[in-house]
Amino acid sequence: MKKEKARERILRVASELFYKQGYNSTGINQVIAEADIAIGSLYNHFPSKNDLLQAYLIREEQHWFEGFENNIVNSSDPREKIFSLIEYRKKLQRSSDFSGCHFIKIISELGESNPAIAGFVKKHKEKQKELIFTLVKEYGELKENFEPALITENIFLLMEGAVVTSTITRKNDSFDQIKKIIQGLLP
């Protein structure tokens, strides 16, 4: 088995801690101890805790979109892809033990106090919305009176609400409910 490189180990440990206990509650000394590295090694790879946070969000964004792509690899139907996206979000909630969205958690913790991070989170959510728009537009190409922008906004808001609701209730029922609503949005 290949030994995990220091940078990857630092990022993995920090990611787990940021997600589990929050960014502000995670100290650099805890990251150093749990990653079993020297302080110099941390700062060689990440000059600041903020740099580590940015690397964490970049990594999570890559995982998110790669995971979605892997989830729809065998699907060619746009409607099926939209419902696969709902199933993917449902699966993420289940696999995280209903801990919620990495990006929502960070923005709720930091707010606008870190403009670079707030901007990154907003762009991530816009990328998710663009993904939905692409799928909705592809689905509706041959439909009359079809409003892809409005439908996209509704699907996006329903999914974000389902993530928050399932985090609170620790159940995935909300995803099943929004699938029924989205069926009505996609004539």
Convert the pLDDT of each residue in 57-82 to its tens digit.
999 999 999 999 999 988 889 999 99
Residues 62 and 121 in one domain: yes
Residues 39 and 64 in one domain: no
CATH code (residue 110): 1.10.357.10
Q: pLDDT digits over 131-141, tens only?
A: 999 999 999 88
On whether the pTM is more than 0.95, the answer is no
- Collect contacts of 135-139 with beta carbons under 8 A, ≥24 apart: 135/78, 135/81, 135/82, 135/85, 136/78, 136/82, 136/186, 138/78, 139/78, 139/79, 139/82, 139/186
- What is the number of domains present in the chain? 2
Q: Is the pLDDT of residue 119 over 90?
A: yes
Residues 30 and 69 in one domain: no
Residues 93 and 152 in one domain: yes
pLDDT confidence bin for 1, thresholds 50/70/90: low
Residues 24 and 64 in one domain: no
Residues 170 and 132 in one domain: yes
Residues 141 and 75 in one domain: yes
CATH code (residue 6): 1.10.10.60
pLDDT confidence bin for 110, thresholds 50/70/90: very high
Could you say which DSSP state residue 187 is in? Answer: -
Residues 9 and 81 in one domain: no
Q: What are phi and psi of 184, to 5 degrees?
A: -70, -25
Q: Is the pLDDT of residue 159 over 90?
A: yes
pLDDT confidence bin for 153, thresholds 50/70/90: very high
Residues 40 and 109 in one domain: no
pLDDT given for residue 2 in this prediction: 60
Give the Cβ contact number of residue 67 at 10 Å.
13
Q: Could you tell me the residue range of the domain that residue 177 belongs to? A: 56-185
Residues 84 and 150 in one domain: yes
Residues 108 and 176 in one domain: yes
pLDDT given for residue 164 in this prediction: 96
Residues 120 and 69 in one domain: yes
